[in-house]
Amino acid sequence: MKYDVCVFGGCSLDRIFYQKIDGTYNEQADTIAPGGKGANQAVAASKAGAKTTIITKIGKDDIGRDILSNLSFYNVNISNVEEIDGLDNDYSDIYINIKDKDNDIKRYSGAINSFTPDMIDNYRDVLLSSKIIVCQLKIPKEVTIKLINFCHEHKKTLILTPCRPEKLSVTDQDNLDLIDKIGIITCNKKECQTIFNSDNIEECVKKYPNKLIVTLGSEGLIYHNGKRFVRMPAIETDVVDTTGAGDTLNGNLSAYLAKGMDLKHALRKAMYASAMKLMMKTAQAGMPYLSDLETFIQNKRNKHFEYRDELNFITEQIKYAYESVKYSVYSVKSKKDHTLVTDMDLEIEKYLINKIKEKYPNDNFVTEETYSNNELQNRSWIIDPIDGTIHFIKKDGYFGIQLAFYDESEIKFSVIYLPEKNELFYCGKGLGTFVNNEKILPTDDSPIEQSIVEFSGSINKKYEVKKMCFDKLMNNEGLKVADVLFINCASLAYANLVMKRTDALIISTTDPWDVMPGEFMTKECDYKVIYLDADKSVRLVTKSQEIIDMLLPKE
């Protein structure tokens, strides 16, 4: 069986005490719940949508059965859990203070001390069939050493959380070799100082780019990407219980990396999950499911956005619009301008207009099929129900649904939905651009020889201008771009650009429903828009000065 995430670590029972107003604690625990760093990280990964298993040992008693049942409840695979007669289970007494809801933990170790190096051999196939492996330093060090060497030898990504940082201290020269072999180390500031025997956190992370990630509490986190420091601010939230917040971050990080997300975006999403956990009591029960996290992220990011209600409303409706008709049988007609339209175009447009009218009855519409002659005025919805109709008819997946919202003489937000890619983009003025609720963060530009330029709009429109651009891009005596592509779907072209799947766009369509949603997104992402002809019907959208220099006439 293949897994997204395999956690190698311990389980325990948490006895939780909440401080009273008078500063004292009850003699009996206020809450008893399954916990332990290994189990916590496994549950976090599973709730984040990753297919997760855990390699662990537990005592075969009532506590062990509760731990096992709880893992199953959260859909963690338990086929690699060893139940052993007579083995004491781990437990922790966790004291939550009133002031900052931080915890003081007294740990009592049992089963976790029984881990042995031969477990690496016994579960070799499980480890090799997992995309990401997660471990801690609570297990005996000789077991951790063998696991690190195994993962390094077999090129498996290992995420280590050093909750016993002294075991990895660089004062032991052998640990330097171990650190080099670990894929990712996530630690807090104190753990980092202990491991590297230094108070200079920046110096530490710079020495281990894309490996060492240091959380800084209310200051967020920091790491180095090989070129510069990456600082991510903390997510503001109401803190109820800090227990398991770090495990939530690591479990979510492993889940998103397993899904193919890059480190920067995976970390940011994991930080939102950790913030959401802080709002809830206990570790595992407080960890968010992916669907709840998506809603939390969107509401948190849009909290101060003036058009939050409109944006949240339409990002839901645009998906429903497609789902309501995607299995329908449709006919194809030719319009007066000889372009094609299907019944699906009309049905999706009708659905969106009716839903908007129900909620915002006084709003105006500028749409491709029904209101194409309307002029923009305050509170206007610009809608293209199926962008790339010919591709929709051909069933090749290169089509999208897009819209923009216009008010007070400017676009306030836009949305692009690519059903076949399962990608929903939205961008608000000053908010940034997001895909599936993950913020698209800045990335370095590609060198010219690795750049891809996309052409969009009918190939017959402004053919001579496009041919001239093609010749300059591909037949230049000096540097050339890596490739060009042409798909007549503006929504996909703009989405490709903001996702950095391409590096420049040359587009010849000028209809507002074609260009306004995507151009707004690219401008908010700091792309330049340059017109390539006198009547401004062909535009270049890019960040690359090299591509601009190639295409613009020399003075």
State which amino acid sits at residue 126: V
Alpha-carbon span 107 to 37, nearest angstrom: 11
Residue whose C-alpha is closest to residue 16's, from 317, 283, 306: 283
State which amino acid sits at residue 228: R
Alpha-carbon span 380 to 371, nearest angstrom: 11
Alpha-carbon span 225 to 248, nearest angstrom: 23
CB under 8 Å to 19, separation ≥6 — which residues? 25, 95, 96, 97, 98
DSSP state of 235: P
Helix (H, G, I), strand (E, B) or coil at 552: coil
CA 430 to chain centre: 20
- For residue 479, give both structure tokens: 């540097």
Which secondary structure element, helix H or strand E, spans residue 453, and what is its range?
A: strand 452-456
Please give the order of strands across the beta sheet that includes 157-161: 81-84, 52-59, 3-8, 130-136, 157-161, 184-188, 212-215, 221-224, 229-232
> How does strand 130-136 pair with strand 157-161?
parallel
Alpha-carbon span 423 to 183, nearest angstrom: 29
DSSP state of 375: P
CA 484 to chain centre: 28
Say if CB 54 and CB 45 are below 8 A apart: no
CB atoms inside a 10 Å sphere around CB 67: 27
Alpha-carbon span 300 to 304, nearest angstrom: 9
Catalytic residue among 14, 241, 247, 384: 247
Say if CB 294 and CB 312 are below 8 A apart: no
Alpha-carbon span 82 to 398, nearest angstrom: 49
DSSP state of 77: B
Q: Is 90 a catalytic residue?
A: no
Strands of 175-269, DSSP E: 184-188, 212-215, 221-224, 229-232
Say if CB 405 and CB 314 are below 8 A apart: yes
State which amino acid sits at residue 377: Q
State which amino acid sits at residue 273: A
Burial of 254 (0-12, 13-18, 19+ CB in 10 A): buried
- For residue 540, give both structure tokens: 């270049």
Residue whose C-alpha is closest to residue 482's, from 460, 462, 501, 459: 501
Alpha-carbon span 109 to 59, nearest angstrom: 12
Active-site annotation, residues: 247
